[in-house]
Chains A and B, each alone.
Chain A
Amino acid sequence: MQATVPRLELRAVSKRFADIQALTKIDFSLGRNEIVGLIGDNGAGKSTLIKLITGYHTPDEGEILFNGTPVTHLTVDAARALGVETVYQERALADQQTLWRNIFIGRELSTSLGFLRVREMRRETQKLMVDAMGFTSTAITPDSIIKTLSGGEKQGIAIVRALHFDADVVILDEPAMGLSVKETDKLLEFVRAVRSAGKSAILIDHNIFHVYQLADRVVVLDRGIVAGEFIPKQHSIAELMEIMRQIAETGSTSLGRDIASSNGDIS
């Protein structure tokens, strides 16, 4: 019974910015143990959808449910408390600050009066660098300034930060952007590890190959609506690319959809 309740569900959610209708009556669900690929052209509404789930934006209409319970007034803090962690496309790092400060932005280890446990944060960061990021170079320390690092290293920090805080739902917004081939492999490995740890993930990626390799289900957004939903395993990658091309051109696809309505949980 419990297992059929999606971890996260959006029901008829709409969002408008001034005169742009970013999302219209979106139904979306994310099951336990599931990786959902979210694809669509620029401006399709992917980032807006993510920012609704993370509590950064508030929907104009519709409901957001976590584990079957509707959550009103979802804030960034509340979403985090519910186990949502995001690796943002723009990485959400503070460039002039140290590595350890970036790992702990907004939730520094501190005493009840808010005084920082600096030593503890440095130590945790060092541990994460070696264990999770695989930084073995002594050139990078917890006191390194972010802007001195490479794109891949920065992305690694953003990912490890999300991982560190025991997330139930990991959202990855173009995580492979600016990564080398080797770094990308590591990233794919990490996303698989999220699933095998019993967590869920939403993956936004322009690269259909990544999505094809990782996602259990693919949701295609187009101009603010859900234009299709597919199970990658039931299609060849060529078919998926054809579907995407059709949707980009016409807003719909002759190949239909695998799933009639969002009911999540296919694990």
Chain B
Amino acid sequence: MTPVTAAPEAIRPDPGSENRDIRGFFRRYAGQAGITVAFLLLWLLFVLFAPDTFLSGRIYAAFAATVPMFAIVAIPLTLMIVAGEIDLSFPSTMGLGMVGFVLVWEATGNVSLGVLAALVIGAAAGLFNGLIVVYVNVPALVVTIGTLFVFRGLELVIIGGRNVSLVATRASLPHRLLVGELAGIPTQLLWLLVVAVIGWVFLNRHRFGAAVYVIGDNRDTADLMGIHSGLIRILLFVIVGVAAAFAGILSSLFIDSFFPTVGEGQLLPALAAVFVGGTSVFGGKGTIYGTVLGAFMIGAIAAGIIAAGLTGFYTEFVFGLVIVVSVSVHAIVQRRVG
């Protein structure tokens, strides 16, 4: 209140204590606090309107099993959108990777080799996207809409559109590690946790993430300051490709079958999770925490639609709405707060 008390503040002996300043803390985590409140409100709403569904354990077991299928892609996708890029082709990468899995597994009988093949194909698909975006300099939005069809088409051509039963993989170690259970918890949830922690560390506590934020914020600044923005962006496409292939494996092994349509229907929830989670569509801003909460909100909305007695047809409508509304809200908030 008086300048007398303000003066010693300015020459505070331990500058580190500035971080623990409570106001600063709230300012720094305002976005994450907001998404947490939204998450809790949504959950309360569902508990109020569909108590039978949302107070039983079964719905949470279902979330644990199905949310990771798109959330595992949503996390690297968050880094990508923070960097100002986007990959809409990942649902097809999920399918294309599985072609590698099926062919290698059928040829060798080895599930691990199949997994490896899928991941390599995912990386290659991402590399293809990244090279075109960076070196041919075409907006990622357009390139990846194209490759969404290219990859799906390639998958269908190679596999001839057939379905493949994966029941024979069930006893294998990779199957148990990827979609088994550990102490009653579906292992895919643990994989999501692993991916989220790695994503958080690399976004917030690694030079890679530091570069990602600057590239999305202002690419000219990044280049002037010696960040190799092209290389980082290509890497982001590769990482999303690998994550997509991994999610394709999880989705297929979970139902013990390969359908050539694997991945279809994952685009909307993954994007919705990222945007609900507060990642800026303009780049430079976004958190892994927000995306993880966002993913579970999206999962809850999908379940809520069914629990509320609406048909599944509403899901797409609602997910689309969620994307438009959350992106708009964040844009308005950003303009207001400055």
Q: Given A110-B207, A126-B18, decide whether A97 and B217 contact each other with a Cβ distance below 8 A.
A: yes
Q: Does A207 contact B (CB under 8 A)?
A: no
Q: Does B9 contact A (CB under 8 A)?
A: yes
Q: Does A136 contact B (CB under 8 A)?
A: yes
Q: Are A96 and B284 closer than 8 Å at their CB atoms?
A: yes
Q: Are B224 and A92 closer than 8 Å at their CB atoms?
A: yes
Q: CA–CA, A80 to B226, complex, Å?
A: 9
Residue among B11, B18, B201, B213 making CB contact with A141, cutoff 8 Å:
B18
Task: Give the secondary structure class of A's interface.
Answer: loop
- Interface positions, chain A 77-125, Cβ under 8 Å from B, are 77, 80, 86, 88, 90, 92-97, 101, 104-108, 110, 114-116, 118-119, 122-123
Digitize B5-43: 1 where CB-to-A-CB distance is under 8 Å, 0 elsewhere.
Answer: 010011100011011010010011000000000000000
Q: CA–CA, A119 to B205, complex, Å?
A: 11
Q: Are A148 and B338 closer than 8 Å at their CB atoms?
A: yes
Q: Given A94-B214, A119-B16, A148-B338, decide whether A130 and B206 contact each other with a Cβ distance below 8 A.
A: no
Q: Given A76-B224, A105-B227, A106-B225, decide whether A141 and B214 contact each other with a Cβ distance below 8 A.
A: no
Q: Does A138 contact B (CB under 8 A)?
A: yes
Q: CA–CA, A97 to B213, complex, Å?
A: 8
What's the nearest-Cβ distance from chain B to residue A173, in Å?
11
Contacting residues, chain A, for B16 (C-beta < 8 A): 119, 122-123, 126
Q: Does A142 contact B (CB under 8 A)?
A: yes
Q: Does A147 contact B (CB under 8 A)?
A: yes
Q: Are B220 and A90 closer than 8 Å at their CB atoms?
A: yes
Q: Are B24 and A95 closer than 8 Å at their CB atoms?
A: no
What's the nearest-Cβ distance from chain B to residue A164, in Å?
13
- Interface positions, chain A 144-164, Cβ under 8 Å from B, are 147-148
Contacting residues, chain B, for A141 (C-beta < 8 A): 18-19, 21, 24
Contacting residues, chain A, for B205 (C-beta < 8 A): 115-116, 118
Q: Given A101-B210, A110-B207, A114-B207, decide whether A96 and B221 contact each other with a Cβ distance below 8 A.
A: no
Give the most central of B10, B28, B224: most A CB within 10 Å: B224
Q: Given A118-B205, A141-B24, decide whether A96 and B217 contact each other with a Cβ distance below 8 A.
A: yes
Contacting residues, chain A, for B217 (C-beta < 8 A): 94-97
Q: Does A56 contact B (CB under 8 A)?
A: yes
What's the nearest-Cβ distance from chain A to residue B165, in Å?
43
Contacting residues, chain B, for A147 (C-beta < 8 A): 338
Q: Are B213 and A94 closer than 8 Å at their CB atoms?
A: yes
Q: Are B28 and A143 closer than 8 Å at their CB atoms?
A: yes
Q: How many residue pairs, one in A and one in B, have C-beta atoms under 8 Å apart?
A: 107
Q: Does B105 contact A (CB under 8 A)?
A: no
Q: Does A267 contact B (CB under 8 A)?
A: no
Q: Does A127 contact B (CB under 8 A)?
A: yes
Contacting residues, chain A, for B207 (C-beta < 8 A): 108, 110, 114-116
Q: Does B285 contact A (CB under 8 A)?
A: yes
Interface size bucket, A side?
Answer: 35 or more
Q: Are B338 and A92 closer than 8 Å at their CB atoms?
A: no
Q: Are A105 and B220 closer than 8 Å at their CB atoms?
A: no
Q: Does B208 contact A (CB under 8 A)?
A: yes
Q: Does A137 contact B (CB under 8 A)?
A: yes
Q: Given A94-B214, A141-B18, decide whether A116 and B224 contact each other with a Cβ distance below 8 A.
A: no
Digitize B299-338: 1 where CB-to-A-CB distance is under 8 Å, 0 elsewhere.
Answer: 0000000000000000000000000000000000000001
Contacting residues, chain B, for A137 (C-beta < 8 A): 10
Residue among B15, B28, B206 making CB contact with A114, cutoff 8 Å:
B206
What's the nearest-Cβ distance from chain A to residue B68, in Å?
26
Q: CA–CA, A95 to B11, complex, Å?
A: 27
Contacting residues, chain B, for A107 (C-beta < 8 A): 226
Contacting residues, chain A, for B10 (C-beta < 8 A): 130, 136-138
- Least CB separation from A93: chain B residue: B221
- Least CB separation from B221: chain A residue: A92
Q: Does B52 contact A (CB under 8 A)?
A: no
Digitize A5-49: 1 where CB-to-B-CB distance is under 8 Å, 0 elsewhere.
Answer: 000000000000000000000000000000000000000000000
Q: CA–CA, A126 to B11, complex, Å?
A: 10
- Least CB separation from A104: chain B residue: B210
Q: Given A97-B217, A137-B10, A143-B28, decide whether A76 and B225 contact each other with a Cβ distance below 8 A.
A: yes
Q: Are A142 and B18 closer than 8 Å at their CB atoms?
A: yes
Q: Are B210 and A108 closer than 8 Å at their CB atoms?
A: yes
Q: CA–CA, A9 to B162, complex, Å?
A: 67
Q: Does B106 contact A (CB under 8 A)?
A: no
Q: CA–CA, A56 to B24, complex, Å?
A: 36
Contacting residues, chain A, for B11 (C-beta < 8 A): 130, 136
- Interface positions, chain B 190-219, Cβ under 8 Å from A, are 201, 204-208, 210-211, 213-214, 217-218
Q: CA–CA, A75 to B230, complex, Å?
A: 14
Given A76-B224, A106-B226, 11 more A-B residue pairs with CB atoms under 8 Å apart are A90-B220, A92-B220, A96-B280, A97-B214, A110-B206, A116-B207, A122-B15, A137-B10, A138-B6, A143-B28, A148-B338
In the A-B complex, the 10 residue pairs with the closest CB atoms: A126-B15, A76-B226, A94-B217, A136-B10, A106-B225, A96-B284, A114-B207, A106-B226, A105-B225, A92-B224
A-B contact pairs, 27 of them (CB 8 A): A56-B224, A75-B226, A76-B223, A77-B226, A90-B221, A94-B217, A95-B217, A95-B284, A96-B217, A96-B285, A97-B214, A105-B225, A105-B227, A107-B226, A110-B207, A114-B208, A115-B201, A115-B206, A116-B204, A116-B205, A126-B15, A126-B18, A130-B15, A141-B21, A142-B15, A143-B18, A143-B27
